[in-house]
Amino acid sequence: MASAKKLQERVALPRTAWMLADFVILFLLLALLARRAASLWEEHASTSTSTWLPALALVCEAWFTFVWLLNMNCKWSPVRFDTYPENLPDEELPAVDMFVTTADPALEPPVITVNTVLSLLAVDYPDAGGKLACYVSDDGCSPVTCYALREAAEFAALWVPFCKRHGVGVRAPFMYFSSAPTEVATGAAGHEFSENWAFIKSEYEKLVTRIEKADEGSILRDGEFAEFIDAERRNHPTIVKVLWDNSKSKTGEGFPHLVYVSREKSPEHYHNFKAGAMNVLTRVSGVMSNAPIMLNVDCDMFANNPQVVLHAMCLLLGFGGDETQSGFVQAPQKFYGALKDDPFGNQLEVLYKKVGGGVAGIQGIFYGGTGCFHRRKVIYGVPPPDVVKHERAGSPSFKELQIKFGSSKELIESSRDIISGDVLARPAVDMSSRVEVAKLVGACSYEAGTCWGQEIGWVYGSMTEDILTGQRIHATGWKSALLDTTPPAFLGCAPTGGPASLTQFKRWATGLLEILISGNSPILGAIFRRLQLRQCLAYLIIDVWLVRAPFELCYALLGPFCLLTNQSFLPKVSDEGFRIPLALFLAYNMYNLMEYKDCGLSARAWWNNHRMQRITSASAWLLAFLTVLLKTVGLSETVFEVTRKESSSTSDGGATTDEADPGLFTFDSSPVFIPVTALSILNIVAIVVGAWRALFGTATAVRGGPGMGEFVCCVWMVLCLWPFVRGLVSRGRYGIPWSVKVKAGLIVSVFVHLWTRN
């Protein structure tokens, strides 16, 4: 018997030069700490002057050293996974349930969701019509979204065969039709293809027109949408509609099932944001198709690689029967129509390549919330096979499953099938016959008294349910695998403009700090569960995003404080100690620049991301820090903010915009802009005051007075905050509103008054 062909290969990536650079920067950080501590000790022993300023600098620099050590751990042992889908056995592949989530038809236009769904329905997979099912969760309970999906199901009957017949590379129609066809054919075949292409494009344009012109009033007059009558977004029963059941296809060449789900909402129940929606999708699919593998994507993240499911199967099935190595398979987030040089620092290319690739070499990449393939049994809380052998034997009883999964007999039986471990099990179920059962498991009260959101499903307790859920999986003992294909597996749209970008960063950071200070902390996972130490440290590098905000803000204030009060916290140019911060400044920025160049990005992209790091830290992270602080003391509740998605019906495949330069920062009256505006004004004032004193010597220097280092700090901050400096004098969307300017000005006035009144 011939040996099985290799499905995947784990390749360790060399990193010797980068390791040396890591240690150089670490050495400089330690040298700075040693010099600072020695200077602080000498000053404390020789004078009676207050030493709080250098002490504060020492604390901040110690924090920066700790963060650098966390970064070194993440990047230390990068790997990549090569996949070979051509070696997969067609007849033995498991079924896959595909989940798409949308929450607001205004911020996430239905045409975006439709394109994502169509791209999933058209992926390459053996017996796709029988083995694949697509479930769309609509937390906005929008009849327009449901109508759009019904129309999309009709169009899919044309689109899916066209893609399969002609080997279409990109199967989201808006992207495919944004350019001339790349498929080349001659003679009669070429003429037939051209006619088919023009016909399908015309049908797609009609589909988009119907969706964009649809209104709730006309839709509700259609009896098919009667369930939406009197339904309010936050108060309505569960709605489950089977929009396409492939088992009833007469041609035999169907496409995957398509099911619309809007979970029950009630003012009396807390709905747990996206995590709650994902758990409802898991239960609904569990009683309908019950595939052992689940894929989840956001509504704007279409399948860019038609073989993405096959590539994922190489990692899920390719470790020689050792499922522990791939509890879930995560694809990096990449974006279409992205703005050149990443002006808002939200494309995260370097983060995924450097940090993601490094973490993949430990216990596995983080769960990113979209573009991820899960084993259903892992989501059900089943530990790895080696743990099961030592902890318990035999399958759980009906009573045990009822306590965990709830009262639905259908869900209990389907969960028993999954827990039994038969990954190829694919029960034949009439989808339409399970609608009432699906509505039952989608009810608000279904989870009461069960383990959903704790031991089972997506974990509750954080706005970043993805990181928390992935961490729970790793803490159980599972590993994860990185799926980085060419072309990229999935593509989505990155938010543009100041408000959208900072809203996204604020939401992420809020959820991460909620994890850090809760019982779900990775530190506890490493101590009491099976989270590896290095994986724990890797989780900390993102969980401490918010904790970085006060340290970075304090350090950013030292420069202007010294110029305003005629003090110093850095050595003078003439001092030998000046070489250490100078070398550290140059080495650190050169290191980051070379990382961007190594990823094929420009120096401008590095600068944009560097400045956005400073802006985000002083705005989104700072406000998120205060939000979590207020929530901890019971004075506030976190609110999930949906990021606006641009419509994908544009002809160029990029984001729809009427702006002359979409890369410019836009502003509104949100409080998130107040701290950075104040910091910009403060640094400008400090530079003017410091320069005046340096030129005219109007005051006696304390502690030697400020030197070149303090001036460089302030100038550097002004350059980093340049979008806000420009916003101070601009108008319209590109100008900072007067309400923000006045509040920021008051903060600066108070700061200056408090520290210069003596």
**482, two tokens:** 């990185």
User: Global pTM?
Assistant: 0.92
Q: Is 422 a catalytic residue?
A: no
pLDDT given at position 653: 41
The pLDDT tens digits of the residues spanning 314-350 come to: 999 999 888 999 999 999 999 998 889 999 998 889 9
Check the annotation: does 268 bind a ligand.
no
| 662 CA to centre of own chain | 22
CA pair distance 171, 173, nearest whole angstrom? 6
Grouping H, G, I as helix, E, B as strand and the rest as coil, residue 697 is coil
Give the residues across from 260 on adjacent strands.
136, 241
**192, two tokens:** 């037939």
pLDDT given at position 639: 55
For residues 433 and 385, is the Cβ–Cβ distance under 8 A?
no
Check the annotation: does 298 bind a ligand.
yes
Helix (H) / strand (E) element for 102: namely: strand 96-102
Q: Which long-range contacts (CB under 8 A, 24 or more apart) does 248-251 make?
A: 249/129
Closest Cα to residue 119, out of 56, 163, 178?
Answer: 163
Check the annotation: does 484 bind a ligand.
no
Give the residues across from 303 on adjacent strands.
490
CA pair distance 246, 418, nearest whole angstrom? 23
pLDDT given at position 185: 54
Kindly give, in sequence order, each residue whose CB lies less than 8 Å from that of residue 365, ignoring residues fewer than 6 positions away. 330, 356, 359, 480, 481, 482
**519, two tokens:** 């019982």
The pLDDT tens digits of the residues spanning 342-383 come to: 999 988 899 999 999 999 999 999 999 999 999 999 999 999
**606, two tokens:** 């590095």
Phi first, then psi, for residue 718 (nearest 5°) are: -60, -40
pLDDT given at position 256: 94
Amino acid symbol at 7? L
Check the annotation: does 108 bind a ligand.
yes
CA pair distance 406, 402, nearest whole angstrom? 5
Domain ranges of the chain: 15-76+527-643+665-757, 103-333+368-494
Residue 428's Cβ-count burial label (10 Å; 0-12, 13-18, 19+) is exposed
Active-site pick, 139, 300, 342, 543: 139
| 146 CA to centre of own chain | 26
CA pair distance 576, 597, nearest whole angstrom? 32
- Max intra-chain CA distance, the chain: 94
Q: Low-confidence residues of the chain, pLDDT below 50?
A: 1-3, 648-658
pLDDT given at position 130: 87
pLDDT given at position 658: 46
Q: Is 139 a catalytic residue?
A: yes
Angle value at C-alpha 341, between 337 and 346, nearest 5 degrees: 70
pLDDT given at position 302: 97
| Residue 520 DSSP class | T
The residue with tokens 């808002």 is 344
pLDDT given at position 632: 77
Closest Cα to residue 564, out of 703, 751, 721?
Answer: 751
Q: State the CB neighbour count (10 A cutoff) for residue 672.
A: 24
Active-site pick, 342, 466, 484, 543: 466
Pairing outcome for strands 480-482 and 328-330: parallel
